[in-house]
Structure formats: structure tokens, C-alpha cells
Amino acid sequence: MSRRIPVWAITAAVLLALPAAPAQALPRGTHVQLFKHGLRQVVDMAWVPGTRKLFYDEKNTGRIRVIVHGRLLRRPCANLDVVNDGERGALGLALDPAYATNHYLYVYFTKRSPLENRVTRFIVRSNRCTHPHPLVTGIPTRAGYHNGGQLFFLGGKLFITVGENHNAGNAQSLHTRLGKVLRYNSDGTIPATNPVLGGRRTAIWSYGHRNGFGLTARPHSHQLFETENGPNCDDELNHIIKGRNYGWGNDYTCGTAGVGPNPTAPLKRWTPTIAPTDPWWYTGRVQRMRGSIYMGDYNTGTLRRITLNRTGTAVRSIKLIYHASGSIIDVTEGPGGWLYFSTPTAIYRIVL
């Protein structure tokens, strides 16, 4: 199967080659407002609740940047020594649910030496990332592609997406963390409630994944959802359930539930592919936007509203609501209760 252009390898030539913009319709009474421009390689955003402070990571430089009251601070929170070829680099970040008291910031990145993907926890003081503490280490990165990198807290546990590192067989193997959604305690230990797979309890929460690019959850529930990039078919939105196999592996056939034991089909698949990125379940200020997942994509720069049934087991509707001038990489909720989304060089928000 052919490999698509790397999600983070954004060039003018690629943008010129994007498909024509699909029809779109913002929710009535709303409009898109530029929040910040002139940025570099925005990958993942995290707002500090109850404040106007935003952290984001720059994929290629390894810098963790800080925006306070709309002003980009000159001094980064951290400068990580990353390998940034292909889809490696600074890939994901998340705030601890108790950030207001412990000031913990978690970052997933490709470390130069030793060469590996890892999660490091920092304590943020005066907008500086201090006391680096490696929590999850030794995730192999032999290939520059399919490194995953999304971090998400649900039920006090840290979930991590890890790609299969360009080797489909890794996704079905229960002896590697590649091609998985992982679940850890916030201190990096393995929860006693993780599934027993392959005769032992590990960090693996679900397997059979090609390259998970995003995680979100229905508020006040344990319903977890993942976006995943396919090969030349079958980009996916998955409902992630403990111990399940999501079907990617050697000899995968497009349009099927997949390979391996009892594969679980996605809630939604996209063929032709769109390269879905990091989504968010919105509960903010704009009432008519609440109760849905908002997801961008790399290929067309389109923001989608995805509405599910109550149990999260089926998609009720998908609406295309906005087309950006470039790829949409991340979506989140922030100050004012607005929905924020990023392109590689700017952050926007949907406001009344």
C-alpha cells in the first residue's frame, strides 16, 4: 500500500495540491476569528483552565511555547533536543487534571539521545518547564513515520497513542507498545485495572492501531474516541474500549474490520483519505455547537462536526462547517468558552 505525504511535512507545494474545498456551513450566528498568527509548526495545544494561558509545542524545534493573554512569550517553557525528520519531533502535550495545584505538564517527543519516543513530566514555574521527569521511556522509533504522540487524561489516567512505526505487524503484537493506545497512572506506573493481554498486564489498553493522531472523550463519561490515519484507504474514528483489537496489521484489506482476533470496526471510515487530526468534544459557550466532536484534517483543512448517539456506538451525522487556508492540526476548547483550532502557523477560534 502506498504511503501518503507525512502529516507534518507541510510545504507550499503540498498546500497547492490539496483538493478543492468542500461545501461548508458555520453554525448560525458564529464566525471564525484569528487569535494568533506568525507561529511555527503548531502541533498540540493545552489551555490552563480558568486562565488565558496556552501551551503549545513546535514539532521541529522541540520548543514548548507559552501564550498569555494573547501574547507569545519570547522565552519558551522548554527547549527539547528532538529528532524532527518525518513525523518525529515534539508531538503532544497535556496538562495534569490537578494542574492548578501540582503544575504538571506532560510532553511526548522524539529524544535525540538515546533515540526514542518518550513522555516527560515537567513542573511549570513562572512559565518555565522545570524538574524534567521521564515517565514513559524506550518507545522505539526506528522509522521516521507512524510515531503517534497524542496525550489525553481520562478518569485520572494518562492515555497515549503510539504508531506502529511503519511496520504493520507491530500493531497486532502484544509484546511491543507500537501500534497501541496505552494507559498509565499519572506517575508512569501501570494501572491495576489495565487489561490482561497475552497472559500479562501491561500498559496496552487497545491494539491493532496504525497511527493514532488524536484522542477525545465525551464529558462526564468514560467514552474515549481516537482518530487514526489509514494507508491509501480507511482513515478512522474509533470508539476505544478496554482490551479491544482495532484491526490494523499485516494483510489488512480496505473496507473490512481488519485482521487478528475479533477486530472492531471503526465508527466512521474515510476513503478517499483525509488524514484526520486531533479532535475535541465541545461543551462551551456556543449552545448550538455543544454535544459534538469537532475534528480537523490535514488533506483538505476542513473542520467537521461529528454527532454520535448517546452510547457513542454510532455516528448520527457529520457536517462540514469550515474550510481553513491550510491543514487543521488541533482542536480544543479555551478561554471564553470558544472552540479553538490551529493550522501550522496560526490559531483561530469560533465566536459569536
- One digit per residue, the tens of pLDDT, for the chain of length 352 reads 333 444 444 433 333 334 444 567 999 999 999 999 999 999 999 999 999 999 999 999 999 999 999 999 999 999 999 999 999 999 999 999 999 999 999 999 999 999 999 999 999 999 999 999 999 999 999 999 999 999 999 999 999 999 999 999 999 999 999 999 999 999 999 999 999 999 999 999 999 999 999 999 999 999 999 999 999 999 999 999 999 999 999 999 999 999 999 999 999 999 999 999 999 999 999 999 999 999 999 999 999 999 999 999 999 999 999 999 999 999 999 999 999 999 999 999 999 9
Rounded-to-integer distance, Cα 232 and Cα 197, Å: 30
Mark residue 34 as left, alpha or beta (left: phi above 0; alpha: psi -120 to 50; beta: remaining). Answer: beta
Residue 71: C-alpha distances to residues 37, 40, 42, 79 (Å):
11, 15, 15, 19
Within 10 angstroms of residue 4's Cβ, the number of other Cβ atoms is 16
Distance CA 30, CA 298 (A): 23
Q: 174: closest CA among 140, 208, 145? A: 208
Are 228 and 187 in contact, with CB atoms under 8 Å apart?
no
Give the Cα separation of 258 and 148 in Å (integer).
20
What is d(CA 173, CA 120) in angstroms, rounded to the nearest whole number?
25
CA geometry: angle 107, 43, 269, nearest 5 deg: 110
Domains, the chain, with CATH or none: 40-275 (2.120.10.30)
The DSSP code for 157 is E
Contacts of 190 (CB under 8 A, 6+ apart): 184, 201, 202, 203
E strands, 126-264, are 128-139, 151-154, 157-162, 180-184, 196-197, 200-201, 204-207, 212-217, 224-228, 235-240
How many angstroms from the chain centroid is the CA of residue 350? Answer: 20
